[in-house]
Structure 1
């Protein structure tokens, strides 16, 4: 089974990881000649459109690499899926720190992420680069049971639902209804849920079957096109605009899939996080 999880970067990664399972992808660059990272200028791209944020990387993979993989995933240069397919004893020998992190995640299934120091975060990248053949296969075997993998869910305790979160987070409040209207034009997000969405995936981090990724991206870019038309003369572009839309749209895509197929299978993985932006 062919799997690739792309980590999205806006500057050259300090510790590149490019192997069977993982690859770094960099905005506004050609691919590194030594194979350390993929650049999104090598094919069809929207690299210069900063309003798409990390969705630029999703677009590049969608348009240029779709046929290469059976599962496609994305995390970020400072937010990574915590994937440790080796036995605990081996992990403890390689990294007592991350063996402890695995214990913490196992002991508290509601713990969705743990902040790391720069040194520990880079150590985790070394772990990603040290899977044995059998450990990589174990991960693939596990992944093959699921349609989509997302980070552990955020429960919006400080807001009643996604709509309230959007309207109280500094984003244009009036844009929410236009967003809902635009999604109603696209079957990928239908039917929209009857009840308010109270748990959420953030940051557009996921792994999914390639055919689902294609379906999601088609619906997302159709929604963005319609939303831009609805916003004309009412709301101006703002930084990372379509990135905010995408991370909300992913939730509605998954909920719509569950309505169509009650056995649609979603798993959750925790994240490790480096909160400082500019030291990786």
Structure 2
């Protein structure tokens, strides 16, 4: 087993770094240590980071990571999946930290123990008072969602009813595009995801408002939830709490 977890950062410091957890820089206006990975090397979409967020690092990993890695993961500079178990994990979906260290919640050994038993590690879902579709339309640009749904209908006519039902009936989801998964599952997911998003990109006018301009990162959060419920159903999946460092 030889996993790697990319810790995506746009700041010159990173809160988690181990032999497996490896920083990758997505902000090329700052100076970072020379051993960090960078999303603007090789085959990349780094120039789209304002719209694709952490997905530029995901794309880079898909296209450029050496074949020696058996598993691929994605964390954020202040958000990670909690691999160190505790009794509270049974009822807590998210831990919010002050001065605590992220390394207290993650270790290489605990990750490898999980990967020996599961195909896929995902965040725990969080309940909400509306469907995934309505939630997106309330918080983002509704017309963008409509375009995404049109693309999904065109590309997946046979399974579209199940896709549509999932988005309009499910009232829980996980966030942040975080995961750790087997390399072949990762490659299949990336091929599917970017095919969808690149087609949507051709059809929408990206907002000039910086928050809403992060449209493809927002869409990918919803798409990942759906993909592993509708398209891939036979995996051994472990749901883990998210740990977030505040005020960084």
Please indicate, yes or no, whether the TM-score normalized by the shorter chain is above 0.5.
yes
Offset, 1:167: 1.1
Aligned residues: 237
- Aligned residue for 1:32? 33
1:146-175 deviations in Å (ceiling 9; x for gaps): 22211111112x22x101101111x11122
Q: 1:223 aligns with which of 190, 196, 199?
A: 196
Q: Does 1:248 align with 2:222?
A: yes
Aligned partners of 1:28 and 1:48 also within 8 Å = no
Following superposition, the deviation at residue 266 of structure 1 comes to: 1.5
1:12 corresponding residue in structure 2 = 12
What's the secondary structure of 1:174's corresponding residue?
Answer: helix
2:114 counterpart of 1:115: no
Matches within 5 A, 1:186-197: 186=155, 190=159, 192-193=162-163, 194-195=165-166, 196-197=169-170
Aligned-residue CA RMSD (Å): 2.5
Structure 1 partner of 2:72? 72
CA distance in 2, matches of 1:15, 1:77: 6
Larger radius of gyration: 1
Structure 1 spans left out of the alignment, 5+ residues: 86-101
Number of the residue aligned with 2:41? 42
Alignment-derived partner of residue 153 in structure 1? 125
Q: What is the Cα deviation at residue 32 of structure 1?
A: 3.1
Q: Is the 8 A contact 1:18 1:24 kept in 2?
A: no
1:197, distance to aligned residue in structure 2 (A)? 2.1
Q: Deviations over 1:9-60 (max 9, x none)?
A: 01112445141x2111111448733x3x222233222222211111111111
Distance in 2 (alpha carbons) for counterparts of 1:184 and 1:217: 19
Counterpart mapping for 1:94-173 below 5 A: 102-105=86-89, 109-117=90-98, 119-120=99-100, 123-125=101-103, 128=106, 131=107, 136=109, 139-156=111-128, 158-159=129-130, 161-169=131-139, 171-173=140-142
1:206 maps to which of 172, 175, 179 = 179
Cα distance, 1:112 vs structure 2: 0.6
TM-score, structure 1 length as denominator?
A: 0.75
3-state secondary structure, aligned to 1:150: strand
1:64/1:185 Cα in 2 relative to 1: closer, same or farther (>3 Å)? farther
Partners of 1:163 and 1:67 lie apart in 2 by: 37
Could you state the TM-score of these two structures normalised by the residue count of structure 2?
0.84
1 CA distance for matches of 2:4 and 2:203?
Answer: 35
Task: Please list every run of 5 or more consecutive structure 2 residues that lacks an aligned counterpart in the other structure.
Answer: none
Per-residue deviation, 1:83: 1.7
1:175 to 129, 140, 144: 144
